Amino acid sequence: MTFKVTILGSTSARPSASRFPSSHLVNHCEQYFLVDAGEGVQSRMMKAGVNPLRLNAVFISHLHGDHIFGLFPLISSLGLMGRKLPLHVYAPHPFGEILDYHLRYFDSQLPYEVIWHEVDTTAHTLLYENKVLEVWSVPLRHRVPTAGFLFREKAAELNVRKEAIDRYGLGVADIVAAKRGEDVTTASGEVVANELLTYIPWEPRSYAYLSDTNYSGKAVKLVQGVDLLYHEATYAEDMRRDAKERGHSTTLQAARAAVESGAKRLIIGHFSSRYKDSAPLVEECRTLFAESYAAREYDEYDIEMKRTSTEP
Q: Containing H/E element for 311?
A: none
- Cα distance between residue 97 and residue 258, in whole Å: 36
- Dihedral sign, Cα of residue 40, residue 149, residue 308, residue 267: positive
CA neighbor of 88 nearest in space, from 121, 49, 129, 51: 129
Give the integer Cα–Cα distance in Å for 305 and 289: 22
Q: Which residues are catalytic, by number?
A: 66
Rounded Cα gap, residues 7 and 22, in angstroms: 8
Burial 125-164 (b: 16+ CB within 10 A, else e): eebbeeeebbbbbbbbbbeebbbbbbbbbeebebbbbeeb
Residue 215 exposed, middle or buried by CB count within 10 Å (0-12, 13-18, 19+)? buried
Q: How far is Cα 215 from Cα 175, in angstroms, rounded to an integer?
A: 47
What string of H, E and C letters represents the secondary structure of 152-204?
EECCCCCEECHHHHHHHCCCHHHHHHHHCCCCEECCCCCEECHHHCEECCECC
